[in-house]
Homo-oligomer: A and B are copies of this chain.
């Protein structure tokens, strides 16, 4: 439990440091896209989501992304965020095969359509990183 006194800016910077380890690039892109309409929302994503929640030591980054993939697959309507977090999942150590296995597992709880749609998003991310076909000699991203 952090009891030191911090400024809003310091909390933002702490969030940015956490975010950088997960997916710094997409975080920057999000903040930039919100700058002219909802800068406070961009601030809170970094400062609170990453600086307060992701920063907690009780759950390693890989577990957080697995949990996140589960939630976004079930919500079903958050394709852009799923795309970001499939990338983040790769960044923190989930393999492409593990991600696909997670979506196959999702059939049991979300049904085929949402699982298939999640795989379709993964296919885009994996293709951009040169990871397809899985099991083959994937070229570097």
Please tell me if A17 contacts chain B, counting CB pairs below 8 Å.
no
Contact with B along A119-141 (1 / 0, CB 8 A): 11011001000001110100000
A45-B112, A67-B66 known; A37 vs B75 contact (CB < 8 Å):
no
Question: What chain B residues lie within 8 Å of A113 (beta carbons)?
Answer: 72, 75, 78, 80-81, 109
Please tell me if A53 contacts chain B, counting CB pairs below 8 Å.
yes
A75 and B123 contact, CB distance less than 8 A? no
Please tell me if A30 contacts chain B, counting CB pairs below 8 Å.
yes
Which residues, 54 to 110 on A, are CB-close (under 8 Å) to B? Answer: 54, 56, 58-59, 63-64, 66-78, 80-81, 96-98, 100-110
How far, in whole Å, are A64 and B13 apart by their CA atoms in the complex? 29
A78 and B75 contact, CB distance less than 8 A? no
How far, in whole Å, are A66 and B61 apart by their CA atoms in the complex? 13
Q: Which residues of A contact B (CB under 8 A)?
A: 1-10, 30, 33-38, 40-41, 44-45, 48-49, 52-54, 56, 58-59, 63-64, 66-78, 80-81, 96-98, 100-117, 119-120, 122-123, 126, 132-134, 136
